[in-house]
Amino acid sequence: MIVEETIRILLVDDQELVRYGFRLMLQATPGMAVVGEAGDGEEAIAATERLRPDVVLMDIRMPGIGGIEATKWITDHHHDTRVLVLTTYDLDDYAFGALGAGAAGFLLKDTRPDDLIAAIRAVHSGDAVVSPRITAKLIEVAAPHLGVRRGPAAADEAFEELTAREREIFILIGRGETNGEIATRLYLSESTVKAHVGRVLAKLDLRNRVEAVIRAYELGLVGQ
């Protein structure tokens, strides 16, 4: 019998009622456990240090240390912890800032419960946060906010160190394809694709797939 791994979640929002709603929903979901809550960025950093959650649901606009600064600290110091940003608006400048700070992606606060649960599982497994194509499109829209500069891939030494297969997979990540879609396209197993993705991220010194989409856009490999 295969025992499903429990995903440990930290809730960060300055509104207690919002945290309460998320907690009720997630605690009732098999394979998920809310291990802590925080009302601002400072509390989120302390809770992450203490609890080492797998996934942090992070609000952006909070008093004191906000979500962007807290996200950057968490992703810089705890590479195994994924941050999902919660925002009211899908094209919120603050959400774009959080992506630049290393967040795995962002969701709207009115996201359907099933979509939120799927997103948490996807992030925990290292895959995309929301529909990958939407993520890729948002990155293109967000480029000015993130200070993205586009240039030829040949000018990037790290990209040149990728194998032919790794380059192929990197471009497909940049186009917003999931591991499953890449596996189908290239006639590979998902486990093989996941291994390739890990090597691509390591060679390019990227924290997650969202950063890979940004890098692919910067190099002029996608979004033209």
Considering the domain architecture, whether residues 57 and 151 belong to the same structural domain is answered as no
Q: What is the pLDDT of residues 13-25, one digit of tens each?
A: 999 999 999 999 9
- For residue 116, give every residue at least 6 positions away whose Cβ sits within 8 Å of its Cβ, in sequence order, or none: 25, 107
Q: Per residue in 115-141, pLDDT tens?
A: 888 889 888 877 656 555 555 556 666
Q: Is residue 2 part of a domain?
A: no
Which residue range(s) make up the domain with 95? 7-130
Tell me the C-alpha distance between 24 and 162, whole Å.
44
> Is pLDDT at 224 greater than 80 in this prediction?
no
Kind plus residue range of the DSSP H or E element containing 159: helix 157-160
CATH number for the domain harbouring residue 55? 3.40.50.2300
Same domain for 147 and 125: no
- 118 and 32 in a common domain: yes
Residue 161 belongs to a domain with what CATH number?
1.10.10.10
Q: Is the pLDDT of residue 209 over 90?
A: no
Nearby residues of 130 by Cβ (< 8 Å), 6 or more positions away: 105, 106, 107, 115, 119
Domains identified in the chain, total number: 2
Q: Which residue has the higher pLDDT, 157 or 39?
A: 39
Taking only the tens place, the pLDDT of each residue in 38-85 is: 999 999 999 999 999 999 999 988 888 888 899 999 999 998 899 998
- Calculate the alpha carbon distances from 193 to 24, 61, 68, 189, 200 in Å: 35, 36, 31, 6, 10
